Chains A and B, each alone.
Chain A
Amino acid sequence: MVNIGLSGLGKMGISHLAIANSHPKVKLIGVCDTSSYVRDVLSKYTGVRVYSDYQALLNETTLDAIIIATPSRFHGQMVRAALERNLNVFCEKPFCLDVEAGMELAEIALRKGLVNQVGYHYRFVRSFNEAKRLINAKVLGRIHHIRIEAYGPVVLRPASATWRTSRNEGGGCLYDYACHAIDMMNYLVGQPQSVGGTVLSKVFSRDVEDEVYATLFFPDGMTGQIAVNWSDDTFRRMSMEVTIWGTNGRMTIDRQQIKTFIRDAASNSLPIAQGWDVRYTTDLPLDVRYYLRGEEYSAQMDYFFQSITEGRKDNISSFASAVQTDLVVSMMLRDADRTYRKVETRSKPQASKQRPARSLLTMIQGTLR
């Protein structure tokens, strides 16, 4: 039995609560949230122990693992407190607003041999898993370009202020939405070396961006483009599409399907159709024991619990990989700042006083083994 606690009962927290609680090998010990209403309702209808204070939850219970689904600015301190108590940690995305702190936490988790995972659930979507398998087998030849687009209906009018509308708290389309696209890019083809032409623009929000556009540069000359807009209500929910071009064809992937066009099938080690081939979610089944909103949410949580019970130390969405994503986010923020200054002053950008992105990248590559 894995004894778990959960902090933060927003949309993701409640979803994780249902998934964890329905797991036959998991016992939900305590839940923490700042809303007394949510706490009382949960306690009344389920009998679970509730806490208003995270430290009290940690102090008064004996846990094997914690799920952290609070607003992003609390992630760092909560993860640290949990690691200090030798708890395995599942943290919602984005991992840590302070990249260096995130790196340190990744190192602590690694050193202590604790299971550490971040909620990038697209890494558990079968079509993307299949894409990664094909990329690793080099069916596309040498990849020269990747494009990721993600659109959805989050902010559709001037919105009231919540933590999502404050950059310092991890709000905005970049932290809250585009990080999924960035993480998927890292997952499929590795992390970019630098970014350019980053545009973070507002559509409805006052303090944060609603659109994110950028070009990404990879070590071997490969390039990428990212386009994310959370003010697009032509989609019911977040929709992400990835297109990859290589010397032996192209591939388009979304949550439902994977389309490949292979120029020369004979050159591949995998049995793959030449020309166009389309496969759907129903061709790539992912059986989960419990379903809520999508197989990937159960799959990522069950993977986390399984990692604990089986003592598995690697993780397909580890703190270290999430720090890579945070790092690209911070590179984009700096680049956008430069771009704006260029447009506004028509002058050369000033050299950044911050640590250059490259050296951070080198450091994180070290932690990733």
Chain B
Amino acid sequence: MKLLQQCKQGLPMDRILFGDNQFFAVNHMSEEKARTQAIRFQNVQAIIDVLDAAYDAGIRVFMCTTHERVADICEHVRSNPKRYPELIFYPCMPYAHKYANAVTEYGMIETLRRFLPERGALAAILQGGVSLARRDVEGIARLLIDAEMKMFKGLKTPVIFLQNVMTDLMLGIGIRDGFRIFADHVQERYGAEPGFITMNMPHLLDALEKIGLENPIICANINKIGFRMCGGIKLYEEVIASRRFRPVAMSVLASGAIRPREAIEYVCGHKKIRSIVFGASSRSNIEETKRLIEEYSSR
């Protein structure tokens, strides 16, 4: 009930969120560009320099996957509290590739065993009378969430997102309870609001409403050319205009297919979009994008 009330009300979210795809060789347009970025950001200091530029430009939220290298960034922020007094994190979990590769190598059950936080943890569940054998999915899911959250210890994480691979997999299979388990746990254990990243926003909103999650935070591709907006751009626009949820727009530049001014003008034209997440690798791009968002948001 607490969760429901909180969701109805909705925490204020920052308008501009800084994303992390550029740091981890994710580029939807070009392998070459992804490789160049991987080389540039192999040193964590290079990532921190860009984050510093974003922070100095007035961006306060780093929305990041639970990639193992984010742990180094977290450590840096923890060690320099005076440098980042207002920096908060929106973790996005799980970083799917490590699980996908492990499932290929070890199979489903062995993967679960490997990713449960510590060897002791599995034993603890077994002793506690709930076990893999008793199909305690909820208990295991909670442990996996805790394992993913470990790197953020001592940092502010007011919103925790479920990554799109996981969200969309559960959406497709129809495991709606999975959304509830995630939402309950991040709220109870971390005092955070649940967020959901998806490529299938209209369907997801239906599913979340069915489990009583009102006014949910949903992060989805929202861009002028309809890139990876399943169901089509028209449906997205209708849903954004008419339904009650907190949309976070990602991929607003469609991996560079839309010019920044045009891209931002489009997204800011939809007044119900709460936040915009973008990634950039240079100080000038960060400042320019932020300036554009502010310019079009005030219109």
List the interface of chain A (C-beta within 8 A of B): 9-11, 14-15, 17-19, 21-22, 35, 37-38, 40-42, 44-46, 153-155, 159-160, 162, 164, 234, 236-237, 239, 241, 254-257, 280-283, 285, 287-293, 295
Known: A18-B169, A46-B173, A255-B31. 9 other contacts (CB 8 A): A10-B107, A45-B177, A154-B101, A254-B31, A256-B31, A280-B29, A280-B30, A287-B232, A290-B203
Q: Is B153 an interface residue (CB 8 A)?
A: no
Q: With a CB–CB cut-off of 8 A, which chain A residues contact B168? A: 18, 290-292
Q: Is B226 an interface residue (CB 8 A)?
A: yes
Give the residue among A40, A290, A295 with the most B Cβ atoms within 10 A. Answer: A290
Q: With a CB–CB cut-off of 8 A, which chain A residues contact B174? A: 21, 45-46
Kindly identify which residue among B175, B203, B232 contacts A46, using a CB–CB cutoff of 8 Å: B175
A363 CB to closest chain B CB (Å) equals 34
Contacting pair B29 A256 (CB below 8 A): yes
Q: With a CB–CB cut-off of 8 A, which chain A residues contact B137? A: 41, 44-45
Q: With a CB–CB cut-off of 8 A, which chain B residues contact A291? A: 168, 199-200, 228, 230
Nearest B residue to A20, CB-CB = B172
Q: Contacts A44-B135, A154-B104, A282-B257; is A22 near B232 (CB within 8 Å)?
A: no
Can you list 22 A-B pairs, Cβ within 8 angstroms, ordered by A? Answer: A9-B108, A10-B107, A11-B104, A18-B172, A40-B135, A45-B174, A46-B173, A46-B175, A154-B105, A155-B105, A160-B105, A241-B31, A254-B31, A256-B27, A282-B29, A287-B226, A287-B230, A288-B230, A289-B231, A290-B203, A291-B228, A292-B199
- Distance, CA A290 to CA B133, complexed state (A): 33
- Distance, CA A153 to CA B101, complexed state (A): 8
- Distance, CA A32 to CA B119, complexed state (A): 31
Contacting pair A11 B109 (CB below 8 A): no
Contacting pair B175 A45 (CB below 8 A): yes
Q: Is B241 an interface residue (CB 8 A)?
A: no
- Distance, CA A22 to CA B206, complexed state (A): 13
Contacting pair B106 A162 (CB below 8 A): yes
User: Which residues in chain B, 172-231, are within 8 Å of chain A measured between CB atoms?
Assistant: 172-175, 177-178, 199-200, 203, 225-228, 230-231
Q: With a CB–CB cut-off of 8 A, which chain A residues contact B77? A: none
A87 CB to closest chain B CB (Å) equals 22
Kindly identify which residue among B26, B105, B232 contacts A236, using a CB–CB cutoff of 8 Å: B26
Q: With a CB–CB cut-off of 8 A, which chain A residues contact B100? A: 11
Kindly identify which residue among A14, A37, A290 contacts B109, using a CB–CB cutoff of 8 Å: A37
Contacting pair B200 A290 (CB below 8 A): yes
- Distance, CA A315 to CA B224, complexed state (A): 34
Q: With a CB–CB cut-off of 8 A, which chain B residues contact A18? A: 168-169, 171-173
Q: With a CB–CB cut-off of 8 A, which chain A residues contact B199? A: 291-292
Q: With a CB–CB cut-off of 8 A, which chain B residues contact A44? A: 135, 137
Contacting pair B105 A159 (CB below 8 A): yes
Contacting pair A21 B135 (CB below 8 A): no
Contacting pair B230 A19 (CB below 8 A): no
Q: Is B82 an interface residue (CB 8 A)?
A: no
Nearest A residue to B254, CB-CB = A282
Q: Is B255 an interface residue (CB 8 A)?
A: yes
User: Which residues in chain B, 8-63, are within 8 Å of chain A measured between CB atoms?
Assistant: 24-31, 35, 38
Contacting pair B169 A292 (CB below 8 A): yes
Q: Is B165 an interface residue (CB 8 A)?
A: yes
Nearest B residue to A162, CB-CB = B107
Contacting pair A21 B172 (CB below 8 A): yes
List the interface of chain B (C-beta within 8 A of A): 24-31, 35, 38, 97, 100-101, 103-110, 132-133, 135, 137, 165, 168-169, 171-175, 177-178, 199-200, 203, 225-228, 230-232, 254-255, 257
- Distance, CA A155 to CA B102, complexed state (A): 10
Contacting pair A17 B172 (CB below 8 A): yes
Nearest A residue to B39, CB-CB = A234
Q: With a CB–CB cut-off of 8 A, which chain A residues contact B175? A: 45-46
- Distance, CA A257 to CA B174, complexed state (A): 33
Q: Contacts A241-B31, A257-B29, A257-B30; is A280 near B105 (CB within 8 Å)?
A: no
- Distance, CA A153 to CA B105, complexed state (A): 11
- Distance, CA A282 to CA B226, complexed state (A): 9
- Distance, CA A154 to CA B100, complexed state (A): 10
A43 CB to closest chain B CB (Å) equals 9
A331 CB to closest chain B CB (Å) equals 26
Contacting pair A237 B226 (CB below 8 A): no
Contacting pair B104 A21 (CB below 8 A): no
- Distance, CA A44 to CA B231, complexed state (A): 29
- Distance, CA A10 to CA B105, complexed state (A): 11
Kindly identify which residue among B106, B172, B226 contacts A285, using a CB–CB cutoff of 8 Å: B226
Q: With a CB–CB cut-off of 8 A, which chain B residues contact A46? A: 173-175
Q: With a CB–CB cut-off of 8 A, which chain A residues contact B26? A: 236
Nearest A residue to B99, CB-CB = A11
A63 CB to closest chain B CB (Å) equals 19
- Distance, CA A164 to CA B168, complexed state (A): 27
Nearest B residue to A157, CB-CB = B105
